[in-house]
Amino acid sequence: MNFNHITFDNPVFLTGFAVFIPLFLFNALSGKYKLNLSEELNKKLKLSAFVFHAFIVFSIIAIAGPRWGTQLAVNEFRRGLDVVFAIDVSRSMDVKDAHASSVLSRLERGLIIARETTISVTGIRYAAAVGRGRGYLAVPLTWDNEAALTFLEVLDGSSMTGRSTNLEALVEAAADAFQDSSPAGKVIVLISDGESLSGVLRNALNRCAKENIIVTTVALGSDTGSPLSVGEAEADTNDGDAGVIITRRDAAVMRMAAERTGGIYIDGSRDDAAVILSNHLLSLAQETSAASASAGSRSEPRERRVLFVILAIIAYGVSKLIPLLPFGKILHRLPTAALILFTFTFLSCSEGKLLLVEANYLHSRGRYDEALIPYLKALNFEDAAPYAEYGLGVTFHSLEEGRAALKRFDSSQKKLETLPEVEHRELRYRNNYNSGIVFFEEGDFHSAAAAFRNALRADPKKIDAKRNLELSLLSIAKLASEENRDETRQENETREILFEYIKQQEQQQWRSLEWAPEEQSTGPDY
């Protein structure tokens, strides 16, 4: 443990040590007036005062926020990473020259690379933006990889309107997906053939360089080019003879985009393109000590506040217990008690539980992205895995990722099924209770009610679960009444329409009748 570089978050609180000046003066003056106490009691009071002074010292240091050492073992530390796939869906991407087999189109080949990368590289957030004449953010940043995979599986260019290709708008839409408050690394994976007929790509790249966004490019298509069909020619034009329009990969543009922002250029025609992209993203997510030293990356010393809080609590408790025990027993048993306390405090906690403590602390400070790392590591320890899953669920919920949170709560509950029901009752309750909260927020009141019922089965004394169950049932009843009201209104509207139709038909029938002319009669009128 290196104490050479000790820093404090709030060094101004170290001025609290000035409180010892009046304490020392008080002790010096009180020494002149000896009380009529036994020798043993005097020794116990002096020892109690000494330990109480230690309590004050530990408290001041804890408030000042000491830091030393390394935040985490650098070779084990994995930073958060946000990746946005910027996918060009212009009509030139439908040309089938992305691979040596000439069976896959450029878009199909790019989507395969993106899907394989998403499956290989987990534990990071993904988003997707698509663009033709304009750029759109189709999938916002999410921890739910399945959402991104589902979008990549169904994506094609038929849903996009507009002509030409604007890579500037596509990269701008992808850059808008990132959150300024997130400390995670930012990467845009541009999947395109590089042809851009409108916009200025360099403007978007300048923004990315300014905001520390890395643009990695996957260039698709062939350098020799392929002809476009007549319908496609209306959207993308390049060069060639009259009546023949050739579209080819612009590798120079894609290389420039990668080099300008610190990314890499990947040839999409290579069979191992997805492997190269996956390794690149993993290298960005994984920090090593060499990279931290050479690149000057931010290294944060470990916060030691919790250690001094524990020491302060122990010192305060000991200072209160000393006057109650015989002095001889205190001297003989103090080393043994200290050893037992140290063993209980530090050695009884497994590595998984220590990771949970660290993750819970980061979560309490609102550092959700950083809290995910120790939670994920704690999954490898059997005794901490259910609580780690629960912690991930709570963290995802704090990040407004409801579906991902539900999956973690369910996974935690499944891990608890192998344990006796009498154990971990609070965790069983919390899994169901928080699942009900997520369902209620999403408007799924039936699932919310079922989750709150399960929470009450785990702990029937919880008033919050009872109250939320009632709210769920009231919401279900209100929703049913609104549906009935809508059905009644629809029936009334149908009756009114039908009545109006019949009325119009009858009026039309009467209007269409021709009155017969009256006959002239010369006879008597009677």
d(CA 266, CA 64): 49
pLDDT grade for 295, boundaries at 50, 70 and 90:
very low
pLDDT grade for 498, boundaries at 50, 70 and 90:
low
User: 507 vs 107, 328, 498, 513, CA distance in Å?
Assistant: 61, 114, 14, 10
User: 485 vs 244, 476, 477, 479, 497, CA distance in Å?
Assistant: 62, 14, 12, 10, 18
347 has a pLDDT exceeding 60 = no
Say if residues 68 and 6 touch (Cβ distance below 8 Å). Answer: yes
The predicted pLDDT at position 93 comes to 81
340 has a pLDDT exceeding 50 = no
- Tokens representing 5 are 């570089």
The predicted pLDDT at position 218 comes to 92
What value does the mean pLDDT of the chain take? 76
Cα 338 to the center of its chain, rounded Å: 42
At 46, the amino acid letter reads: K
pLDDT grade for 336, boundaries at 50, 70 and 90:
very low
Classify residue 198 by its DSSP letter: S
pLDDT grade for 188, boundaries at 50, 70 and 90:
very high
The predicted pLDDT at position 502 comes to 66
512 has a pLDDT exceeding 70 = no
The predicted pLDDT at position 236 comes to 46
d(CA 268, CA 230): 26
This prediction's pTM: 0.44
The predicted pLDDT at position 53 comes to 86
- pLDDT tens for 147-183 read 777 777 777 655 544 456 788 888 999 998 888 767 7
User: 402 vs 163, 266, 352, 443, 485, CA distance in Å?
Assistant: 37, 35, 25, 12, 31
> What's the mean pLDDT in 485-511?
66
Say if residues 108 and 306 touch (Cβ distance below 8 Å). Answer: no
d(CA 85, CA 127): 6
More confident residue, 303 or 364: 364
Residue 404: helix, strand or coil by DSSP?
Answer: helix
The predicted pLDDT at position 81 comes to 85
- pLDDT tens for 52-91 read 888 898 889 889 888 875 544 433 344 578 899 998 888 8
Domain residue extents for the chain: 7-70+302-348, 79-286, 358-475
Give one DSSP letter per residue of 216-247, joined into a string: EEEE-S-SS-EEPPHHHHTT---B-STT--EE
Residues in CB range of 526: below 8 A, 6 or more apart? none
The predicted pLDDT at position 45 comes to 78
d(CA 469, CA 93): 52
With vertex at residue 371, the alpha carbon angle to CA 370 and CA 372, rounded to the nearest 5 degrees, is 90
Question: CATH classification of 358-475 is 1.20.1050.10, yes or no?
Answer: no
pLDDT grade for 290, boundaries at 50, 70 and 90:
very low
d(CA 165, CA 90): 6
The predicted pLDDT at position 39 comes to 72
The predicted pLDDT at position 74 comes to 37
The predicted pLDDT at position 289 comes to 34
- pLDDT tens for 394-410 read 888 888 888 888 988 99
pLDDT grade for 190, boundaries at 50, 70 and 90:
very high
The domain 79-286: what is its CATH number?
3.40.50.410
